[in-house]
Amino acid sequence: MTILFTALLTGDTPTLGVFLLCTFASLLLGALIAFVWSRKASLSRGLLLSLILLPAIVQVVIMMVNGNIGVGIATAGVFTLVRFRSAAGSAEEITAIFLCMAVGLLAGMGYPAAAALFSLILCLVFLLLHRLPLGKPKSREQVLKITIPENLDFEHIFDDVLDRYTDRWELTEVRTRSPGSLYRLQYTLELSPDASVQELINDLRVRNGNLEISCGRPVTRTDLL
């Protein structure tokens, strides 16, 4: 096990063999991370290519500034600027980027075996966490949007229908439309186990004059970092 934490770099200047070994290890580990994250997260093609190349880029930078404190501080500043000039990403995307940077740091310091072990552990933990029901919405939770004319009293007109088909409901938003001649009501509700969405919408259409109604899962991006 001690070979995992034995540095391949014995001096300030790496040999060609060590340089190629660390670079190929970084590329392979970047490809592994990109593959695992693409199985469970929605990533763009550009981000996948970046995840593959990022460990090798960080590894080369760290290997070249080995022992030079000034150059190391300047490099840290460059990475900070890159982060602030990037668009906000999801938590999974930022995690993958930091993992690739950590792998590149380990490989650049001459620990490709430790980088490989660390990548495997993190990828396995990532896959395991995705199998657990952590933070997943309730299966019956829905967002209901109803369009009604402005002359309709919406305060309690849908109460009996919602009570019949749901275990819990709440009016979360009222918005005007077209301009001011229509209202858009938004409800957050939890359907009863034996409730039918089609029957719910049919009963609501009788009350709202057959205007637009939509019902679906809540779509929110609450995982941004």
Query: Can you give the CATH number for the domain in which 159 is found?
Result: 3.30.70.1380
Residues 19 and 64 occupy one common structural domain: yes
Name the nearest CA neighbour of 62 among 52, 70, 53, 72. Answer: 72
Rounded to two decimals, the pTM is: 0.60
* Cα 122 to Cα 11: distance, rounded to the nearest angstrom: 30
Contact by Cβ (8 Å): 191, 167: yes
SS3 (DSSP) at 145: strand
224 belongs to a structural domain: no
Q: Is residue 82 predicted with pLDDT exceeding 80?
A: no
Q: Are residues 106 and 27 in the same domain?
A: yes
137-141, 144-148, 176-180: range with lowest mean pLDDT? 137-141
Mean pLDDT (whole number) for 173-193: 85
pLDDT for residue 29: 92
Work out the average pLDDT over 29-56. 87
Domains contained in the chain, number: 2
* Residues 82 and 183 reside in one and the same domain: no
Residues 145 and 105 in one domain: no
pLDDT for 13 equals: 66
Q: β-strands 141-149, 166-177: how paired?
A: unpaired
Residue after which a domain boundary falls, among 106, 131, 156? 131
Which is higher by pLDDT, 4 or 14? 14
How would DSSP label each residue in 166-212? EEEEEEEEEEEETTTTEEEEEEEEEE-TT--HHHHHHHHHHHTTT--
CA–CA separation, 52 and 57 (whole Å): 10
Check residue 30 and give its pLDDT.
92
Please indicate, yes or no, whether residues 126 and 145 belong to a single structural domain of this protein: no
| Higher per-residue pLDDT: 75 or 163 | 163
150 and 124 share one domain: no
Nearest residue to 110 (alpha-carbon basis) of 222, 215, 5: 5
Domain termination site, one of 86, 111, 131: 131
Supply the pLDDT for residue 135. 62
The confidence score (pLDDT) of residue 20 equals: 87
Instruction: Look at 77 and 183; give whichever has higher pLDDT.
Output: 183
- Average per-residue pLDDT for the chain: 79
Residue 89: band (very low, low, confident or very high) from pLDDT cuts 50, 70, 90:
low
Same domain, 124 and 146: no
Half-sphere exposure of 125 (CA within 13 A, CB side): 10
pLDDT band at residue 73 under the 50/70/90 scheme: low
**Rounded-to-integer distance, Cα 126 and Cα 123, Å:** 5
Residues 70 and 156 in one domain: no
Residue 78's pLDDT is 58
Q: Residue 4 — very low, low, confident or very high, per pLDDT cuts 50/70/90?
A: low
- On whether residue 223 sits in a domain, the answer given is no
The per-residue pLDDT for range 57-69, each reduced to its tens digit, is 888 878 877 655 5
Q: Is residue 144 within 8 Å of residue 186, measured between CB atoms?
A: yes
Residues 56, 97 within the same domain: yes
Whether residues 127 and 22 fall in one domain: yes
**Could you tell me the residue range of the domain that residue 163 belongs to?**
141-216
Q: Quote the pLDDT of residue 27.
A: 93
Which pLDDT value is given to residue 31?
Answer: 93
Q: Are residues 174 and 100 in the same domain?
A: no
**Range from 74-88, 94-108, 114-128 carrying the lowest mean pLDDT:** 74-88
Strands 182-191 and 141-149: antiparallel
Domain termination residue (choose one: 131, 151, 182)? 131
Whether residues 124 and 20 fall in one domain = yes
